[in-house]
Amino acid sequence: MQALIDTTFAAVETASLDLAPRRFGRVVACDGGLIEVSGLGVPIGSICTIAQGASTEHRAETIGFRNGHTMMMMLGDTVLLRPGAVVRPEGRPGMLSVGTEYLGRAVDGSGEPIDGGGPIMATTNWPAGGYRVGALDRSRVTQVFDSGIRSLNALTTFGIGQRIGIMAGSGVGKSVLMDMIVDGAQADAIVVGLIGERAREVSDFVTRHMAGERAASTAIVAVPADHAANLRLRGAMLATSIAEHLRSQGKRVLLILDSLTRVAHAAREIGILLGEPGAARGYPPSALATITKLIERAGNSEESGGAITGVYTVLADGDDQNDPVVDTARAILDGHIVLSREIAQRGQYPAVDVGASLSRVMNDIVSAEHAVAARRFRALSSTYEANRDLVMMGAYRQGADPLLDEAIALHPRMCQFLSQGFSESVDLATAFAQMTELVGSDA
């Protein structure tokens, strides 16, 4: 406690005193979560406070302008908001506080602690949208990232600085797979953004991962589903900004964002409030552009030597793998893991659909023997799945297809290979050895 007090006083001593006159505006209209303010011209991205008497205060973010009025979106509920309320700007527009102070802590989308600890005394400012760099600053992916999951290490090997999507419908195991990656991953720091998820899931995740040795190198930004859309979006930007700042210090960071679809939903709400037309199944162009910008901020940095390995969960609404968010993410990511509901219903976890999953950098980072064995495993798995109904009905005559005969013989062992317990971790070398022993390495 004394250390916290000393740190707080030190921060107050070094803070500059702003004696400039404070501008203010007044609320003139409120439509849902959209507020119109007159008399206050502030940049987009500014955070403002709305005074409600002596004890009540709301916060809102500037998202646009219209007819001489500033358009704002509440960071909370509009309950008790009244016309004529005084609105004052605060902080630096478009900037977020980042730093190593977030490691070992769990915060909300505004950077306020939710773990019961003291305030986050981070003083480094970082643009919410990140620093834009040239394409050549994103150096190639050349080193293997060990995820600790046998099927992923063997068949869709990740690389340090790669951006990977975990795509599935609801309740198929995205969050469980994400948990397993966090437990088994080797990284200097881990930043987790839980955006738009269940509050119960946030509580469980914080309890599991903010204890033990990994806690000191883990930062969690959690914004549950019942929070305002712009706060969910700010949470995703804060998690990404923290990871970018750590990368600028040369660290190898694992960034987990669960889920990218909820970020797109938040951007859609904001776009529709501003009157932007829905183009792709109700998603305005700005919503899909938002997730593209987030993903592009991860990767290797040529300048600092650091890296952000990004793992993004993507909810396929209605199990539709051609959903606009899924399709947009798949096109920009460096690889995707598809989880199948049908496979999950057979009791196989993680329910990885081997044929539909892909790592675009795998051939550049694994040995030729590993690549050949993985292709052979894929061929056997895809052949069996394509003929599964015939085999189950007994309509297939053994000997008609040698590859299918081999796939049928190996199928039980292949299913066992793809399955893994929640608390089990299998490194890359072990996964390769087990795969080679199972299917051999001959083409």
Same domain, 78 and 173: no
Domain boundary among 43, 77, 92: 92
pLDDT of residue 80: 79
Q: Is residue 7 part of a domain?
A: no
Same domain, 209 and 298: yes
Domain boundary among 359, 386, 401: 359
Q: Is residue 129 part of a domain?
A: yes
Structure tokens at 29: 């209209």
Same domain, 77 and 171: no
Residues 220, 182: Cα–Cα separation, whole Å? 12
Which CATH number does the domain housing residue 147 bear?
3.40.50.12240
Structure tokens at 437: 């022993």
pLDDT of residue 443: 45
Q: Is residue 188 part of a domain?
A: yes
Beta-strand pair 252-258/189-195? parallel
Same domain, 292 and 262: yes
How many other CB atoms are found less than 10 A from the CB of residue 99? 18
Same domain, 205 and 278: yes
Domain boundary among 334, 359, 384: 359
Bridge partners of residue 35, in order along the sequence: 30, 72
Structure tokens at 91: 């902080």
Q: Alpha carbon of 213 to those of 189, 304, 311: distances in Å?
A: 12, 26, 22
Residue in 149, 186, 143 with CA at minimum distance from that of residue 166: 149
Q: Is residue 11 part of a domain?
A: no
Q: Is residue 297 part of a domain?
A: yes
Continuous segment of H or E residues that includes residue 435 = helix 428-439
Residue in 123, 122, 121 with CA at minimum distance from that of residue 5: 121
Same domain, 323 and 386: no
Which CATH number does the domain housing residue 374 bear?
1.20.1270.330
Same domain, 139 and 262: yes
Continuous segment of H or E residues that includes residue 251 = none
Residues 333, 342: Cα–Cα separation, whole Å? 25
Q: Is residue 16 part of a domain?
A: no
Same domain, 136 and 168: yes
Q: Is residue 229 part of a domain?
A: yes
Q: Which domain holds residue 416?
A: 367-438
Phi-psi bin for 29: left (phi > 0), alpha (psi -120 to 50), beta?
Answer: beta
pTM of the model: 0.89
Same domain, 187 and 318: yes
Residue 82 burial (10 A CB sphere; 0-12, 13-18, 19+)? exposed
Same domain, 59 and 151: no
Q: Is residue 204 part of a domain?
A: yes
Number of independent structural domains in the chain? 3
Structure tokens at 255: 């960034």
Which CATH number does the domain housing residue 72 bear?
2.40.10.170
Residue in 390, 372, 384, 431 with CA at minimum distance from that of residue 410: 384
The one-digit pLDDT tens for each residue of the chain (443 residues) are 566 566 655 555 555 555 456 788 999 998 877 899 998 888 888 899 998 766 667 889 998 888 889 999 988 877 878 888 899 998 788 889 999 999 999 999 888 898 888 888 888 899 988 888 887 888 889 899 999 899 999 999 999 999 999 998 888 888 888 888 888 788 899 999 999 888 888 888 888 877 777 888 999 999 998 888 889 999 999 999 999 999 999 999 999 998 899 999 999 988 888 888 877 777 888 888 999 999 999 999 988 889 999 999 998 877 777 888 899 999 999 999 999 998 898 888 899 999 889 999 999 999 999 999 999 999 999 998 888 888 888 887 888 888 989 989 999 999 999 999 888 889 999 999 999 999 875 54
Same domain, 328 and 419: no
CB 162 within 8 A of CB 309: yes
Same domain, 186 and 270: yes
Verify cis geometry, omega within 30 degrees of 0, for the bond prior to 139: no
219: amino acid identity, one letter: A
Task: Report the sign of the C-alpha dihedral through residues 163, 100, 88, 131, in that order.
Answer: negative
How many other CB atoms are found less than 10 A from the CB of residue 399? 8
Residues 141, 158: Cα–Cα separation, whole Å? 9
